[in-house]
Amino acid sequence: MIRTTRHSYIFALLAFFAAAIGFALPVAAQDKMELRTVTDGVYMMQNDRGSSNASFVITPDGVVVLDADLRTADQVLAQIRKLTDKKVKYLITSHSAGDHASGAWQYREDKPVFIATKTQMRDLYMQEGKEFAERKKTDEVYKVSELVRPDLGFEGSMTLQFGGLTFILTEEGVGHSTSDVTVFIPQKRVMLMGDLLDTEIHPGQGESAGVFYSNVKGWTHSLDNIIARNLPVDTYVPGHGPVHIGRGVADLQEQKRYFIVMRDEVSKLMKAGKSLAEIEKTIEVPKEFAHYQRKPRLVSFVKLFYYQTIEQGY
Ligand SMILES: [Zn+2]
C-alpha cells in the first residue's frame, strides 16, 4: 500500500513536470526563426508565425543587422554567433513596429550603432514606446528587457560604407508604416524590403498601441518608385514570408498587383451596393492570390480599401 502511494506520489510529480514541460514547449516553439542564405554573406532569418523576418550581412569588419523583434532577436544573434566571431556593428530598422524595432536590447553585448529614420525614432518615443511599456506589464520577455532607442536618426536617405560593402538606406515614405526604409546592397545584388514586401501571405496592417498606419496609396507608390529605379537586384528580401531567391522585381510587381486587384474587388462590391460588413463576409480572393496564407489579415485591408476609396478615390 505504501509502495503504491509512493508510486502515485512519484507519478503525480512526473505528471506535474510533464505538464510544466508541456506548457513550456508551445512557448519555446513559438516564432521559430530559420536560416536562409540569400547570397554569399547575406542571410535572412525566416519567421514562421507572427513575428517578422530579420536579415544580416557578414563582412570582414563586422555584421550589419536589419530588424530586431525582442521576442526573436536572441535566435538571430545565436545564429550570427554560429557563423562568425565578428561583432554586430550596425542595427537598422525597416520601420518602428514592435516586430521589427523592439529588439535592439538583445544585441547589447555588441553595442551596435542603431540607425533609424527620425520618424521611426519619434515613434519609439511615442506610440511604440507606449506599447513597449504596456507589454512590460504582462510579457515575460519584455519584463526583463529595456527599450533601446536609435543612436542615429536620418531623413530621406543615408549611405553606409562598411566592410567593403555599400548599404543604401532609403526612406521610401508612408506605405506599410509611418516611415518605411529599404536597404540596397549593390555589391550583393540584394535589397532588404522590410514590410513593403510580404510574400505568399496577405500583407499586414501597420499597427501599434491600437492605431493603424498602413496606406495603400502610399504603399503602391513606394513600390512604383522602387520598380522605376530598375535596380540591379536578384533578390528582394521580404519582411514576412519566404524569400524568393533570384525572382527579382517580379516579387515587387506581384505585391503591387495584389493591392490593385484586391482594391478592384472591393470597389466592384461597393458599386453593387454592398455594405462594408457584407463585403468583409462575401469577398473572394482571386485565383492568383488564393494560395496566400494568413487570410484573417485581409479583413483590416478590406476596411482600408473601402474607406480609402471613399476618401481619396484609390
Ligand atoms: Zn512586420
pLDDT in the model for residue 27: 43
Residue 30: which pLDDT band, with cuts at 50, 70 and 90?
low
Q: Nearest to residue 35, comparing CAs of 69, 78, 70, 79?
A: 79
State the number of CA atoms in the 13 A half-sphere of 301 facing the CB.
Answer: 27
Report the separation in Å between the CA atom of 22 and the middle of ligand 1, taken as the mean of its atom positions: 29
CATH no. for 36-250: 3.60.15.10
Ligand 1 geometric centre to CA of 302 (Å): 18
**CB atoms closer than 10 angstroms to residue 16:** 10
| Rounded Cα–Cα distance for residues 214 and 293 (Å) | 19
Determine the length of the chain: 314
Chain segment 232-267, per-residue pLDDT in tens: 999 999 999 999 999 999 999 999 999 999 999 999
In tens, the pLDDT along 267-311 reads 999 999 999 999 999 999 999 999 999 998 898 889 989 998 998
How far apart are the CA of 52 and the centre of ligand 1, in A? 5
SS3 at position 104? helix
Rounded to the nearest angstrom, the distance between the alpha carbon of 100 and the centre of ligand 1 is 6
Q: Which residues contact 252 (CB under 8 A, 6 or more apart)?
A: 193, 197, 223, 226, 227, 236
Tell me, in angstroms, the distance from the centre of ligand 1 to residue 18's CA.
Answer: 34
pLDDT at 137 over 70: yes
Residue ranges of domains in the chain: 36-250
Question: Which grid cell sits at 100?
Answer: 521589427
63 CA to middle of ligand 1, Å? 22
Q: How far is the CA of 211 from the centre of ligand 1 (A)?
A: 15
pTM over 0.85: yes
Quickly count: other Cβ atoms within 10 Å of residue 46's Cβ.
20
| pLDDT of amino acid 208 | 73
**Cα of 239 to ligand 1 centre, how many Å?**
6
Residue of higher predicted confidence among 137 and 1: 137
